[in-house]
Amino acid sequence: ECASTALCFGMHCVAAAVIAAKATECQRVRYLEPIAAGEHLSTLTLSEPGTGSHFWLPQTELRRRDGGYVVTGSKTFVTNGGHADSYVVSTVATEVDAPVGEFSCVVVDGEAPGLQWTSGWDGLGMRGNSSRSVELRDVAVDEDALLGEAGDQIWYVFNVVAPYFLVAMAGTYLGVAAGAFEDARLHVTGRRFTHDGTRLAQQPLIQHRVGQLWANVERSRQLLLHAADAGERGDPMALPALASAKAEVADCAVTVTNEAMTLAGGIGYREHGSLGRRLRDARAAHVMSPTTDLLRLWSGRALLGEHLLAD
């Protein structure tokens, strides 16, 4: 019923998967055990104001200092921002000999000194989320905060973040579409004309449009299930399916919420109605990184055997 809740939980699950992928014993005890006990909330912190949807090109700096690291930079659209217990932050090394194009992730404690959050989230939709910007000003982390090896986060992006994140986000917005469809179905089955007692559901045009909307939702659902299965099995062609699943679900969510609003008429257009909320939430599906255009680009490149990050 609440896409914001699904988004917040989904981002927590993806962050947990990233931490778990190559977790040290210290990281298992410090993060994974409290996460498993339901006592710790985490999230991804990848997006930056200057790189947009190119989240694999962070400008946030990671510098060695006193047996650990110092993190300096800016992040945007941080889900659970200001509420999470930890943040998986993407960074780039500042050493002269650091590999070009590689980046690292570190786990930053939610109460770490140097985290400066902006004011609360005020979005068109997803209003139950706290998607905020943060300045990291010389935030100190210990050496064990580094996830995996230095510079290997491209591996994480396509082996951990992509499958978990794309499934979580596609599932979230599929729920938006399915909820909008059900709202519309309930409206047309219950709405009667006073002049003759017939229901909207008895009108052939309404029947036709409801059938179309159901097919749209179900088509997207089956693609998502196929993509999740391919990712779980380690299918070498899972990436096009995963990328396409989120892209197609985004189209589905926007189309279905819009058409459901039309079917519900003036009643659906009310300020605090569920359809209005779903319509606003659905718009985030296209713009949330990786954007729909980027996902289709990746899908095409993967199918053609081209490098995914060619530009």
Domain boundaries defined on the chain: 3-151, 154-304
User: Which three-class secondary structure string do you get for 281-305?
Assistant: HHHHHHHCCCCHHHHHHHHHHHHHC
List pLDDT tens digits, range 131-183: 999 999 999 999 999 999 887 777 888 888 888 999 999 999 999 999 999 99
Query: Residue 167's Cα: distance from chain center in Å?
Result: 9
Q: pLDDT at residue 54 above 90?
A: no
Q: Please choose, from the candidates 80, 75, 88, the residue with its C-alpha nearest in 3D space to the C-alpha of residue 10.
A: 80
Q: Who wins on pLDDT, 229 or 308?
A: 229
Q: What per-residue confidence (pLDDT) applies to 150?
A: 82
Distance CA 232, CA 230 (A): 5
Three-state DSSP at 311 gives coil
Q: pLDDT at residue 129 above 70?
A: yes
Q: What per-residue confidence (pLDDT) applies to 265?
A: 92
Mean pLDDT of the chain, nearest integer: 93
List pLDDT tens digits, range 225-267: 999 999 999 998 999 999 999 999 999 999 999 999 999 999 8
Q: Please choose, from the candidates 214, 121, 124, 227, the residue with its C-alpha nearest in 3D space to the C-alpha of residue 169.
A: 227
Q: What per-residue confidence (pLDDT) applies to 162?
A: 86
Q: Which two tokens stand for residue 254?
A: 């926007």
Instruction: Count the Cβ atoms, other than its own, within 10 Å of residue 272.
Output: 6
3-151 maps to CATH 2.40.110.10: yes
154-304 maps to CATH 1.20.140.10: yes
Kindly report the pTM of this predicted structure: 0.93
pLDDT-derived band at 5 (thresholds 50, 70, 90) equals very high
Distance CA 225, CA 233 (A): 12
Q: What per-residue confidence (pLDDT) applies to 51?
A: 86
Distance CA 60, CA 82 (A): 18
Give the range among 30-39, 72-81, 98-107, 221-230 with minimum mean pLDDT: 98-107
